[in-house]
A and B are shown apart, each in its own frame.
Chain A
Amino acid sequence: MVAPLFLYILYFMFIPVAQSIYYSFVHAGTQELTLDNYRTILNRSQFNDAFVNTIGITIMGVTMEMVFGIGISLMLVRAFRGRGIFRSIVLLPLGVPTIVAGAAMLYFVGFNGYINEILLDLGIIDVPIYWQQSGWRGMFSIAVADVWKSLPLVVLILVAGLEGIPEDVYEAAGLDGANGWHKFLDHTIPLLMPSITMALILRAIDAFRIFDIAMVLAGQSIPVMQSFVYFDYRAGNTNTAAAAAVILLLMIVVFVVAYIFLVERRAEVER
């Protein structure tokens, strides 16, 4: 009963990954093993932009998602009238296609978009800002769309974590005279850490692989790793595209291993 699923994943996932790794070390013309593909892309400014943009978007996006996610989750576990509607609204972007999240952002970060309009109306800026350009502004535009789309998933994971925290922990803290903020820092956050770790790792992996939003918002003008690979493949450079894809895989693996190693180990030392 397990065989069909595992054979499928082996044949359509693991073998292609192995093929890509192989292509990345093969010379396009001579078919000899080489590191030329990696040298070629490392010298391309588009690749360097894609690399920097991807990391920037991941850091900005995941930070915002964790902060807002924890805040909204804490609101959701409270009892209040209208929580059902609030929960529905919070979970709404879950069903919105990722590419639509990117498309919606077009009307906010465009030159005549709402972010500029609001900033102009509030008198914060005098001249509209060009948001859709490479650099931190472009990264921010993409990250915001990603945050909107991904908050529901983060909230779902964190709410499950919060619901698992036994209430007597709070009661004990209350007897000790802990106020809200201390309760939050000393009790909620440590107990919530497994859920935060899971949400953070899942979201960071997805942010590294960002594609739809960057494609619809900026096309080739703000390259990210996955869109770089796609355009390079479309240009007929299968081998350098594969090399860039392997580098992206390495980025993700290094991040996950480093995070688990650093955060989990520190947590163990503190225990």
Chain B
Amino acid sequence: MSVTKPVALSESYSTPKKGFPKEDLIFWILAILVAFILLVPLYVLVKVSLSSLAQAAAPHPSYLIENPTLDNWRRLMKWEDVRAPLMHSVIVATGTAIIAIVLAAPAAYVVSRLPSNTRYLLILAILFTRMFPEVIIATPIAMRFFGWGLNDTNFGLILAHLIRTLPLAAWILIGTFQVIPMDLEESSAVDGAGKITTLFRVVMPLALPGIAVAAMFAWLDSWNDLLYAIYLFLTERTLPLQVYYYANRGNITDVATYSVMMTIPVVIVTLFLQRWIKSGYLSGAVKG
């Protein structure tokens, strides 16, 4: 797996053959069916967010968008109502992503330069932390943070989200750093560059796609989190909490509208960054 070639799938295979044998027809029908099924949930969310409550709650929902209305969006997207939860979500996710990279990158770099046995053990230990259910951590954390007055604060939620994102970021980053050949660093040292110069001039640029992916996963993980937010935020709300409370109240158009709102930015970001998401980042660290 090489770092400099970000497009994983599209390059290594030959161009499709011309012609249309029967097998290909079945393949295409399958592909279109899969794509359709995967897209339908998003379509339905958008559709409900554009329909009136009466339409959405009708005994027989329509399959197509009929008489679209922006009423839900106008009613819910008043800046003074959206501002607080949106700001909490944006600030917490961004803070979590930055701190996760700052804390995890140096550690991941060091681990990636360890002998493979030790490295393998540490990676297993990181995977092992995933086995802890969040609630077993969240209960004492909530009690501790309430004692510190960190409930309903962005800082408290960032600290909590780091518990989950640090191992994730470290895992991706170890995989990133370990494929950067040590020869590069050695030859840079031979050329007279200091350790710090080498790190920032040689290693970091090569690791940038991996760092971007790690930051993106950390950001998404925080943006999506309901569990720590529901433990730590009692009066304030983040976007996932808003979705949860609207769903709890049973207002199905409001749920859809809020869902679409919090999904649009992340789908755009992931679509944009998809070419850097190499399958190798998620499994590379585990291979010897």
A residues near B, CB below 8 A? 1-2, 4-6, 8-9, 12-13, 15-17, 19-21, 23, 72, 75-84, 86-108, 110, 112-114, 117, 120, 148, 151, 153, 156-157, 159-161, 163, 195, 198, 202, 205, 208-209, 211-212, 215-217, 219, 225-226, 229-230, 233, 238, 241-242, 245-246, 248-249, 252-253, 256
Nearest B residue (CB) for A226: B135
Instruction: Check A238 against B139 for contact (C-beta < 8 Å).
Output: yes
B4-31 with Cβ < 8 A to chain A: 8-10, 12-16, 24, 27-28, 30-31
Instruction: Check B243 against A89 for contact (C-beta < 8 Å).
Output: no
Q: Smallest CB–CB gap between A203 and chain B, Å? A: 11
B21-45 with Cβ < 8 A to chain A: 24, 27-28, 30-31, 34-35, 38-39, 41-42, 44-45
Pairs A–B under 8 Å by Cβ, sample size 26: A5-B170, A16-B139, A17-B137, A23-B140, A76-B9, A83-B10, A86-B35, A89-B39, A90-B35, A91-B274, A97-B220, A97-B240, A100-B263, A101-B41, A107-B44, A112-B59, A112-B61, A157-B283, A160-B279, A160-B282, A198-B283, A198-B286, A211-B226, A212-B240, A215-B226, A245-B139
Interface residues on B, range: 35 or more
Instruction: Check A97 against B223 for contact (C-beta < 8 Å).
Output: yes
Nearest B residue (CB) for A103: B259
List the A side residues contacting B94 at CB < 8 Å: none
Bound-complex Cα distance A205 to B128 (A) = 10
List the A side residues contacting B248 at CB < 8 Å: 219
B269 within 8 A of A: yes
Bound-complex Cα distance A51 to B136 (A) = 16
Q: Which of A96, A100, A106, A233 has the most CB of B within 10 A?
A: A100
B residues near A, CB below 8 A? 8-10, 12-16, 24, 27-28, 30-31, 34-35, 38-39, 41-42, 44-45, 48, 56-61, 63, 103-104, 106-107, 109-111, 129-144, 159-160, 162-163, 166-167, 170, 220, 223-224, 226-227, 230-231, 240, 243-244, 247-248, 252, 255-256, 259, 262-263, 266-267, 269-271, 274, 277, 279-280, 282-284, 286
Q: Smallest CB–CB gap between B38 and chain A, Å? A: 6
Instruction: Check A225 against B16 for contact (C-beta < 8 Å).
Output: no
Bound-complex Cα distance A72 to B109 (A) = 34
List the A side residues contacting B133 at CB < 8 Å: 208-209, 225-226, 229, 245, 248-249, 252
Instruction: Check A12 against B27 for contact (C-beta < 8 Å).
Output: no
Q: Which of B28, B227, B230, B283 has the most CB of A within 10 A?
A: B283
Using known A-B contacts A4-B107, A12-B162, determine if residue A103 contacts B243 with beta carbons closer than 8 Å: yes
8 Å CB contact of B139 from A81, A98, A241, A249: A241
List the A side residues contacting B107 at CB < 8 Å: 1-2, 4-6
List the A side residues contacting B277 at CB < 8 Å: 91, 94, 156
Q: Smallest CB–CB gap between A20 and chain B, Å? A: 5
Instruction: Check B271 against A88 for contact (C-beta < 8 Å).
Output: yes
Bound-complex Cα distance A97 to B266 (A) = 8
Nearest A residue (CB) for B41: A104
Instruction: Check B162 against A20 for contact (C-beta < 8 Å).
Output: no
Task: List the 5 shortest-distance A-B pairs measured between CB atoms, nearest first.
Answer: A95-B270, A160-B279, A245-B136, A1-B106, A104-B41
List the B side residues contacting A100 at CB < 8 Å: 45, 243, 259, 262-263
Bound-complex Cα distance A79 to B279 (A) = 17
Instruction: Check B44 against A99 for contact (C-beta < 8 Å).
Output: no
Q: Which of A4, A8, A12, A103 has the most CB of B within 10 A?
A: A103
Instruction: Check A16 against B136 for contact (C-beta < 8 Å).
Output: yes
Q: Smallest CB–CB gap between A206 and chain B, Å? A: 8
Bound-complex Cα distance A114 to B280 (A) = 37
